[in-house]
Chain A
């Protein structure tokens, strides 16, 4: 009997079970990006307004997030956050050590990508030429109106390509979620591999799925960028 390394049939066979867990993968990727964006907005505001002490703290935080490999960050938050939060949550009857690990994954990627996104947002905002802000103020706009009408939309346009990269990075990082016990697409694939002793087909299937999703995201962001570039003229 020849050695049976790979069969296309098994790729197709395993795919449905993996795809059933795709929503978990996507949920982690998108919710961590969304939450990260909210955090990043707050951090960027602090950076732009040069809130004195915070500014230094954030800079240190950003260099940590950039330097430390994402799987190490994941473990640090996974083991660290419960210890940190237990004193506050236990009295409320919540035990953070028993929480679904998916929350820690989302928190990790959100926090980690927030640092990068914050730099990107504040750079995009500073990237809009200050003459336009002055023009907005000179016609009597408030700071808020200036941001909503003039600076925000143009900063968005500058930030858009990088935003696409962040989502793709977060999506790819979801493939590490299984290391803390999340059963996402990769988790499902590992289970199949253990059960059937065929690993390669599952991972090939995974590769295809990631590849297709990234292509779709690229396409979507390409369209968005075109749309907003066209509006600028």
Chain B
């Protein structure tokens, strides 16, 4: 289980997160939606301390740390319980695809080289890239790079994988393959927190959806509650804007 309580974060005078409370149960596909600049990325990055929140508690799998006072060791501990998939893939460009996947196993988890490469190869197969083991990132399409990045995250068997708009840098024809892999990750029961603008995908896989606006949680619920019966006008407005076709379907 992951709980965030009263997370605040400012950049200078810009108060971006204004007291976020969330509980994510194991195995959930937890989706965060909201307008650009509402603080979704900042929230994800606060969870694994790529951004240090100014206030609040973060607890993952029984380890609870104060965002403000967490020590280096605690930060490392939290990071080793999480993995992240970035909008721009961020693969290690000096390593082949399979090495990208094995890297965390060998360097962070101290798994033996041979075993790490075996597991990496299995994961590469799972994301459909068995034929690209020895390709460098520069030789892969965006969709392929993102699938390697997902394999890299899966390799660590983290308690949660954080996805920050994993398909929004992709050419439209490559979005499907990445969503397919993510659907598989959700089906495996791996806890995921996903920021996305792919509303129909969110509706399909999400167990919970939260709508964030201006650094606060406006509304939270199952997909059907959010997409069909949103209680807050702000939520309805956002959904109308982002998926105008949706209004016709109901």
Contact = CB atoms under 8 A, between A and B. Distances in A.
Interface of A: 129, 131-132, 134-142, 145, 149-150, 153-154, 157, 231-233
Contacts of B107: 141, 145, 149
B93 A232 contact: yes
A131 B48 CA distance: 15
From A129, A131, A137, A233, name the one whose CB has the most chain B CB atoms within 10 angstroms.
A233
Contact of B83 (A129, A139, A142, A232): A139
A139 B93 contact: no
Given A131-B86, A132-B90, A149-B103, A138 B76 contact: no
Contacts of A141: 104, 107-108
Nearest to A134: B50
Interface in B148-182: 149, 152-153, 156, 162
A134 B107 CA distance: 16
Given A131-B86, A132-B90, A154-B94, A139 B104 contact: yes
Contact of A142 (B48, B76, B93, B103): B76
Interface string B84-98: 101010111110100
B79 A137 contact: yes
B97 to A, nearest CB: 10
Contacts of B83: 138-139
Contacts of B156: 139-140
Contacts of B84: 134-135, 138
Interface string B108-132: 1000000000000000000000000
A129 B94 CA distance: 12
Contact of B104 (A134, A140, A153): A140
Nearest to A149: B107
Contacts of A233: 96, 135-139
A138 B76 CA distance: 9
Interface of B: 48, 50, 76, 79-80, 82-84, 86, 88, 90-94, 96, 103-104, 107-108, 135-139, 149, 152-153, 156, 162
Contacts of A231: 94
Nearest to B50: A134
B91 A154 contact: no
Given A131-B86, A139-B104, A150 B50 contact: no
Contacts of B48: 137-138
A149 B96 CA distance: 13
Most chain A CB within a 10 A radius of its CB, from B84, B88, B96, B107: B107
Given A140-B104, A145-B107, A135 B90 contact: yes
B108 A131 contact: no
A232 B152 contact: no
B79 A131 contact: no
A136 to B, nearest CB: 7
A140 B80 contact: yes
B94 to A, nearest CB: 5
B79 to A, nearest CB: 5
Nearest to B153: A139
A135 B136 contact: no
A97 B17 CA distance: 65
Contacts of B76: 140, 142
B76 to A, nearest CB: 6
Contacts of A129: 90
